[in-house]
Each structure stands twice: as structure tokens, then as C-alpha cells.
Amino acid sequence: MSTARVRRPNTARLGRLSNGMLMTPEEFDAATDFDELYCYELIHGVLI
């Protein structure tokens, strides 16, 4: 049996389902794809 690694893109799509997602400050700052209807905060590495 073979296995393959799948790489996630460096930027995440942020939306209402992203609440509670763990992120680094660098990942949060690099996010360019997000729903503008919501406000986002990163508190202790957790997206709120």
C-alpha cells in the first residue's frame, strides 16, 4: 500500500466556519481570502 502527502495551501479561506481554528500570527496576517461580512481576531493562536 502506498501513501501520499497532501500539502495545504499557505493561506486559508476564512469564513464563519473558521471559528476556533488554530493559526499562527503569520498565517493570520497572510490570509487574503476571507468573507468580508465578518470581523476576525486572533487571540492566543485561536481565530475568533
Q: Is residue 24 part of a domain?
A: yes
Q: Is residue 6 part of a domain?
A: no
pLDDT in tens, the chain (48 residues): 677 776 665 566 899 899 999 999 999 999 999 999 999 999 999 999
Q: Is residue 4 part of a domain?
A: no
pLDDT computed for residue 40 by the predictor:
95
pLDDT computed for residue 10 by the predictor:
56
10: left (phi over 0), alpha (psi -120 to 50) or beta: alpha
Domain carrying residue 19: 13-47
Helices (H), the chain: 25-30
**What is the domain count for the chain?**
1
Q: Is residue 39 part of a domain?
A: yes
Instruction: Spell 1-20 as b/e; 16+ CB within 10 A means b.
Output: eeeeeeeeeeebebeeebee
